[in-house]
């Protein structure tokens, strides 16, 4: 039976089932579900835990032995099987199918893995788990839903709901769920009552971001060529910056293209900014960029960013540093080769 991740707490409060299977694209969310199941089980007397990391060469006899062995310390135990991928081989498929259909009492089995393609979800072992277990699938949190996800987790920690805060965290963590969660936890430590000084927090983040990749991109979008080149020259010596900058540029320009097309089709800039949840501090910046750059130019810049990505990975022959500089110059309005 499938249970939605947001319904897991309610499910666990009613009944603990013997087998849980958690999988999907977001490892942080998978881990959170496992922790929920584990904590519920511990409250139900499951005091011992054994974990197996399973790949294609795993010795399944070890798992059979652990399942059949009695515990010296507790009549109930948790066995966690973390599949490194959905490719567990013929022996693994047969063993896992047998285990989930003949699990003895007193054993809670938690199986987890990452994203599985449709062929893997049609496999015999997956079907066996699906028929005998509670299945929780975690989908990738898209940029459109990230602000909502952050708002929900703020509420869970007792922080007052605040859209501006959620937008700020989403922007500054670049959609990284772990980084977002860490920022939310820092907020809780700074404001234990849950009432956040929104203006102070956003101003602090904005000041910190001025000399980071985020500040660099905003300087270019604002049309401030001198400032963007100054930040670029100060950051580029760090070997990790080209990768981070290029990834951020790809995401930002791709989003800008979508907005630019809607503006071209007659939508007001304000309504488009609202639709794409542009946080208040950036509305002037993005509005300025939308007025200066038609979507055709942005599309050409996106192609350049794609080639830079391939070059960083050794699949193309461009010089990433020089090409990133050119993209930033074009975004800031210094050169307009991308007509």
pLDDT of 104-150, one tens digit each? 989 999 999 999 989 999 999 999 999 999 999 998 887 667 888 88
- Which residues contact residue 272 at a Cβ distance below 8 angstroms, ignoring those fewer than 6 apart? 259, 262, 263, 290
Q: How many Å apart are CA 324 and CA 156, to the nearest integer?
A: 40
pTM over 0.75, yes/no? no
175 in the Ramachandran plot: left (φ > 0), alpha (ψ -120 to 50) or beta?
Answer: left
Predicted confidence at residue 339, as pLDDT, reads: 42
Here the tokens at position 313 are 């990975």
Domains 143-208 and 210-332 share a fold: no
Residues in the chain: 339
148 near 117, Cβ under 8 Å? no
| Secondary structure class of 52 (helix, strand, coil) | strand
pLDDT of 14-55, one tens digit each? 999 999 999 998 888 999 999 999 999 999 999 889 999 998
Q: What average pLDDT score do residues 286-303 get?
A: 93
For the domain made up of 143-208, the CATH class stated in words is mainly alpha
Cα–Cα distance list, 323 to 141, 190, 217, 228, 249 (Å):
31, 41, 15, 14, 12
Is it true that domain 5-138 has CATH number 3.40.190.10? no
- Domain ranges, ordered by start, for the chain: 5-138, 143-208, 210-332
pLDDT of 166-208, one tens digit each? 888 887 776 678 778 888 888 888 899 999 888 888 777 766 6
Weakest-pLDDT range from 8-12, 188-192, 213-217, 254-258: 213-217
* Axis-axis angle for helices 295-312, 241-264 (nearest 10): 160
Here the tokens at position 329 are 């110059």
- Picking from 250, 334, 266, the residue whose alpha carbon sits closest to that of residue 298 is 250
- Picking from 326, 247, 262, 332, the residue whose alpha carbon sits closest to that of residue 293 is 332
CATH architecture of 210-332: Up-down Bundle (1.20)
Predicted confidence at residue 240, as pLDDT, reads: 78
Count other Cβ atoms within 10 Å, centred on residue 268: 10
Q: What average pLDDT score do residues 160-165 get?
A: 82
- Percent of the chain at pLDDT above 90? 52
Residue 211 has pLDDT above 50, yes or no: yes
Q: What is the mean pLDDT of the chain?
A: 88
Predicted confidence at residue 250, as pLDDT, reads: 92
Residue 257 has pLDDT above 90, yes or no: yes
Predicted confidence at residue 95, as pLDDT, reads: 94
Weakest-pLDDT range from 48-57, 160-169, 313-322: 160-169
29-50 burial, b if ≥16 CB within 10 A, otherwise e?
bbebbbebbbebbeeeebeeeb
């Amino acid at each position: 039976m499938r249970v939605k991740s947001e319904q897991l707490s309610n499910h666990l409060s009613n009944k603990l089932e013997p087998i849980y299977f958690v999988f999907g694209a977001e490892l942080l969310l998978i881990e959170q579900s496992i922790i929920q199941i584990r904590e519920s089980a511990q409250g139900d007397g499951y005091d011992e835990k054994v974990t197996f990391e399973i790949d294609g060469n795993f010795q399944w006899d070890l798992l059979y032995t652990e399942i059949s062995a009695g515990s010296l310390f507790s009549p109930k135990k948790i066995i966690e099987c973390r599949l490194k991928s959905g490719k567990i081989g013929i022996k693994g498929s047969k063993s896992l199918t047998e285990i989930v259909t003949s699990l003895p009492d007193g054993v809670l089995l938690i199986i987890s893995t990452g994203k599985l393609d449709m062929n893997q979800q049609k496999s015999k072992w997956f079907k066996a788990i699906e028929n005998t277990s509670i299945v929780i699938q975690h989908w990738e949190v898209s940029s459109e839903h990230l602000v909502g996800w952050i708002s929900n987790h703020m509420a869970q920690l007792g922080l007052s709901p605040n859209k501006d805060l959620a937008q700020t965290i989403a922007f500054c963590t670049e959609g990284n769920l772990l980084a977002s969660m860490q920022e939310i936890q820092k907020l809780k430590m700074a404001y234990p009552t849950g009432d956040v000084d929104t203006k102070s927090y956003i101003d602090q983040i904005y000041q910190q971001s001025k000399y980071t990749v985020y500040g660099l991109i905003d300087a270019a979008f604002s049309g401030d060529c001198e400032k963007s080149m100054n930040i670029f020259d100060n950051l580029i010596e760090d070997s990790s910056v080209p990768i981070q900058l290029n990834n951020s540029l790809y995401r930002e320009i791709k989003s800008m293209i979508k907005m630019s097309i809607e503006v071209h089709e007659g939508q007001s800039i304000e309504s488009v900014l609202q639709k794409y949840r542009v946080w208040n501090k950036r509305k002037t910046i993005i509005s300025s960029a939308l007025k200066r750059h038609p979507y055709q130019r942005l599309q050409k810049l996106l192609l350049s960013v794609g080639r830079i990505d391939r070059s960083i990975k050794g699949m193309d022959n461009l010089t990433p540093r020089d090409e990133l500089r050119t993209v930033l110059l074009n975004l800031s309005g210094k050169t307009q080769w991308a007509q």
